[in-house]
Amino acid sequence: MWDRRNCQVYGLLHAVMATAVKDGVLPSNPCQIERAMNTARKREPKILSVPHVGELAEKMPERYGVLVLLAAWCGLRWGEVIELRRRDVGVEGATLTVARAVTHRGGCRIDTPKTGKARMVVVPPHIRAAVQHHVDTYVGDGDEALLFTPVRGGCHLNDKVFADSYFKPALAAIGGEGVRIHDLRHFAGTQTARVANLVETMTRLGHATSKASLMYQQQVSGRDVEIAEALSKLAGH
């Protein structure tokens, strides 16, 4: 198994060759090394069931329940979800503009998402009311007000404090020990893949891979609304 950097380089070459095939420049893609774009996982994600995600959100402190829902049903990364601001939420909680992400390498730094590009995510209808309620109840005035802030003050949530103080106790209450915050994004990926094609799934999640670069070229305009509605049907709404 190759390391991540080699996989990404090979993946970029594979994408370039695939585009050449699509454009009729090459008869076939010469990059066919089996599993060359797959890096070894140090840990397999633990995927919650649809009911357990709802239960987990309910067991969280109310001010953080929507964070779980957005991570799980919209596939936001931790750094993306904690940097969401009032101006990023569309009318009645129907959309999210994911334009920034927070990193804590060498201090708190606000940067672009992992792909370097902003994206708009359509929120599944079954959680929109909860999103809007959260904005109305817990988010400060002004476009720059963060959606999620530390209880004891400060700017952005700390992932370790959040996990130890709120996330793990809520997981224990539903028998979900061992699940990590990032596993909610894996939940989003598996659920989205059930109702969307590969191009739409990768685009919705904002994957920072060479494959995603090719898929952006093939995205079907407007399908994200249908995907969001189909996700709500999976939740029984």
User: Which of the residues are catalytic?
Assistant: 77, 182, 185, 207, 216
Structure tokens, 51 = 């009911």
| Beta-carbon count within 10 A of 158 CB | 15
Sign of the C-alpha dihedral computed for residues 187, 193, 194 and 195 taken in this order? positive
Which amino acid is present at 30? P
Q: Which two tokens stand for residue 112?
A: 């672009």
User: Taking the CA atoms of the chain, what radius of gyration do you get in angstroms?
Assistant: 19
Q: Provide, for the chain, the percentages of residues in helix, strand and coil under a 3-state DSSP scheme, each rounded to the nearest 5.
A: 50, 5, 40
d(CA 125, CA 226): 10
CB atoms within 10 A of CB 44: 8
Q: Do residues 162 and 171 make contact, with C-beta atoms less than 8 angstroms apart?
A: no
Task: Tell me the β-bridge partners of 102.
Answer: 110
Tell me the one-letter amino acid at 123: V
Burial class (CB in 10 A: 0-12, 13-18, 19+), 14: buried
